[in-house]
Amino acid sequence: MNWVRHLTVALLVAGVGLAPAFAQQPRGRAAQSQARAAAPQAAREALNTPGQLGVQVATETSGLVRVEGFLAGSPAEGAGMRAGDRIVAVEGRAVNGVDQLVELVRARPAGREIKLRLRRTVALRLDDAQRTEDGRLALGLVLAGEDGGLLVSSAPAGYAAAAAGVAAGDRIVELDGVELANQGQLVERMRTIGAARTLRVSFERDLRVRLGPADGVEAPPPAGAPNARSRGARTPPPARAQSTREVADEVAALRRELAALRAELAELRKLLAED
């Protein structure tokens, strides 16, 4: 069997690529390992990227910020925000104008969850057949607590409030443009309505949004210009960054492969030395 060993030695000495292949493979795998090890660094850099809501907004005369539209892939829209909503507060801080909204959003990195308070106005079509025990037209709201507050405990199906999208956790703030401070004022307003008609009800809702990786918010496009929604399909979500544990496991596997290759190379060198 010495001829087999001599053939192996001849191939190695002749330089037909066997030895260089062993030399290059660890370097190639090392480059892949370095690229994967850079994933946590990329994730850290993402945390330093200002977050975005993906909305087009405008400031009303009252100072409230009105949502005019959404950018493709908007995280705010995905969380349930609608065009026409007004952004009242960010993390409990009142918002007064677009500039302040941009400042509050950009102060938080992409990927961070942020709590917004929205004000939404909906139309409720009252049903003359649905009335309370004292004869008032029924909105279909069950209000929480006995302190006279206007926090919605539930909105039973089949009534005007549920049909308009009012839900548990919302807080009623206006009825037909008149601000309400307590349940008593709401009851008194409803007593003045005799025949069934459509009411405009405003309520506030807390919404949690995970910010996307881009800059702030945008002003609405000029009149007549297509917005980001109309220019094409929604962009796919960004690829998930590998966790530190996943990267460490892959690096360990690559190191084991490299150790095996080194052992094979050492065996070949041993064969050379024997001959």
Q: Is residue 45 part of a domain?
A: no
Q: How many domains does the chain have?
A: 3
Q: Is the same domain home to 200 and 128? A: yes
Residue 10 is classified by DSSP as H
Residue bearing tokens 């004292």? 134
Distance in angstroms (rounded) separating the CA atoms of residues 268 and 188: 95
Q: Is residue 85 part of a domain?
A: yes
Q: Is residue 77 part of a domain?
A: yes
Tens-digit pLDDT profile for residues 1-41: 443 343 333 333 333 333 333 334 445 555 555 555 555 55
Q: Is the same domain home to 21 and 155? A: no
Identify the bridge partners of residue 229 per DSSP, sorted by sequence position: none
Q: Is residue 43 part of a domain?
A: no
Q: Is the same domain home to 103 and 231? A: yes
Q: Is the same domain home to 108 and 224? A: yes
Q: Is the same domain home to 107 and 215? A: yes
pLDDT (average), residues 161-174: 96
For residue 110, which of 212, 226, 218 has the smallest C-alpha distance?
Answer: 212
Q: Is residue 92 part of a domain?
A: yes
State the residue range of the domain holding 233. Answer: 50-112+211-241
Tens-digit pLDDT profile for residues 185-239: 999 999 999 888 999 999 999 999 999 885 445 555 555 555 544 434 344 444 4
Q: How large is the greatest C-alpha to C-alpha distance in the chain, in angstroms?
A: 109
For residue 38, which of 50, 30, 49, 27 has the smallest C-alpha distance?
Answer: 30
How much is the pLDDT for 21?
38
Q: CATH number of the domain that 141 lies in?
A: 2.30.42.10
Other residues' Cβ atoms within 10 Å of the Cβ of residue 218: 21
Q: CATH number of the domain that 106 lies in?
A: 2.30.42
How much is the pLDDT for 25?
44
